[in-house]
Amino acid sequence: MLDRHLRPFIDPPLNRLGAGMAQLGLSANQVTLIGLAFALAAAAAIIAQLFWLAIALILASRLADGLDGAVARATQVSDFGGYLDIVCDYVFYAAIPLAFIALDPGAHGVAGAFLLLSFYVNAGSFLGFAVLAEKKQMRSDAHGVKSLYFTGGLLEGTETIGFFILLCLFPGWFVPLALGFGMLCLITAFARVVLAAKVFRD
C-alpha cells in the first residue's frame, strides 16, 4: 500500500548510489546476494536474541534489495537478475518468521506457521497474477521498473519490513502480531484473486 507512494522519494538516491556501485565494478546479482546474506544474518541474530543487530541487518538487506535494481539499470537489466531478486526476496520473507519460530518453538510455532502460510498464499496470488499479466503483455511502473508485473495490495514490502522491525522491538508480542499480520496477508491475497477474476475473465 505504501510502496508506490515512497518510490518518488527513494528511487532517485538509490539510482545515484547504484550508479556509483556499478562504477566500482559490482554487478546487480552480487548486490542481490549480499542482501540475501544480510537477511540470513538477521535471522541468525534473532535466534541469538540480538534484536537491535537484527534490525540493522534487516534494513541493510532491504537497502541491498533496492540497490540491485539500481545497479542493473546503470549497467544491464537481465531476466535472470529479476528472477534471482524475487527468489532472494522470498527467502528473506520466510527466514525472519522461521527465526522467531526457532527462537521459541513452543510459544511461536502455531502463529509462525500461520504467518508462513499467509505469506505462501499471498506469494502464490502475486506470482500467479504476474504470469497472466505477462501473457497478456500488461505493463505497470507504479512500483518502479520491475522484471515482472507488480500488483499492489493492502500489505507490500514497506509494510512487511515495518512488521519485521516491530517483531524485533517487541518479540514478546510475536503471537498476536503474527496472527494479525497473517490475517491481513490473507485479505491482501483474496483481494488480488478478486482483481484477477475481473482482469482475466475470458
pLDDT in tens, 58-72: 999 999 988 888 888
Q: What is the mean pLDDT of the chain?
A: 85
Instruction: Write down the pLDDT at residue 202.
Output: 66
- The C-alpha atoms of residue 77 and residue 80 are separated, in whole angstroms, by 9
- The C-alpha atoms of residue 192 and residue 153 are separated, in whole angstroms, by 7
- The distance of Cα 186 from the centroid of its chain, to the nearest Å, equals 16
Is the pLDDT confidence value at 44 over 50? Answer: yes
Is the pLDDT confidence value at 3 over 60? Answer: no
Sequence spans of domains, the chain: 3-199
Instruction: Write down the pLDDT at residue 68.
Output: 84
- What pLDDT, in 10s, does the model give residues 92-127? 999 999 999 999 999 999 999 999 999 999 999 888
- The one-letter code for the residue type at 13 is P
| Cell 511502473, residue located | 141
pTM over 0.75: yes
Is the pLDDT confidence value at 91 over 60? Answer: yes
Instruction: Write down the pLDDT at residue 144.
Output: 46
Instruction: Write down the pLDDT at residue 103.
Output: 97
- The C-alpha atoms of residue 36 and residue 58 are separated, in whole angstroms, by 10
Hey, which of 31-45, 134-148, 180-194 has the most confident mean pLDDT?
A: 31-45
- What pLDDT, in 10s, does the model give residues 175-193? 999 999 999 999 999 988 8
Level-2 CATH architecture, domain 3-199 = Up-down Bundle (1.20)
Instruction: Write down the pLDDT at residue 73.
Output: 80
